[in-house]
Amino acid sequence: MPKDNHWKKRTILVFAFILLDYFSTLAFCKVPYEEANLFARTFMEVLGIPLGLTLFVMIANLPIYMTLSLDSHIIRLSYRRAILVEIFVDTVFAWFIAGLHFSGGTSWFWYVPDIARQTIGATAYLVIAFLLIKPHKSFQDSQELLCM
């Protein structure tokens, strides 16, 4: 499990977007060939839609979960570095995870170009991340840093 800090909140946020894609695919996919992801489609063809999709999502997202869990326990950065790393991590997660899953999840019922759906998903992730995921240092520590 991720340590109870900002990394745990980030993990929950990332997996909210993954679960949006998962549940919308379960709800709207009637036959495996409707799924655009070839790997997910293969799992769904071999094992059936519910089991194949579930197994694919678990396997495909295990590295993301492991990385976030390990990072939550081992990363100890100074305030300046932590801010830069968190902005970079959130930007990467926004585009490559949240944006892609938002686009995939909403593609079943929202007919706009993929790039528009991905951009909206990435923007939604960033807004939520910047509103809900607080820096790991206190306000007093940041004020001391600014005075230096």
Q: pLDDT at residue 108 above 90?
A: yes
pLDDT digits over 8-24, tens only?
788 889 999 999 999 99
Would you say residue 134 lies in a domain? yes
- For 74-83, 98-107, 110-119, 125-134, which range has the lowest pLDDT when averaged over its residues? 74-83
Would you say residue 1 lies in a domain? no
For residue 76, the one-letter residue type is: R
User: What is the 8-class DSSP label of residue 29?
Assistant: -
pLDDT digits over 43-85, tens only?
999 999 999 999 999 999 998 888 777 766 656 767 777 778 7
Tell me the three state secondary structure of residue 75. coil
Q: pLDDT at residue 138 above 60?
A: no
Structural domains in the chain (count) = 1
Q: Return d(Cα 143, Cα 1) in angstroms, integer.
A: 32
**Domain residue limits at 130:** 6-147
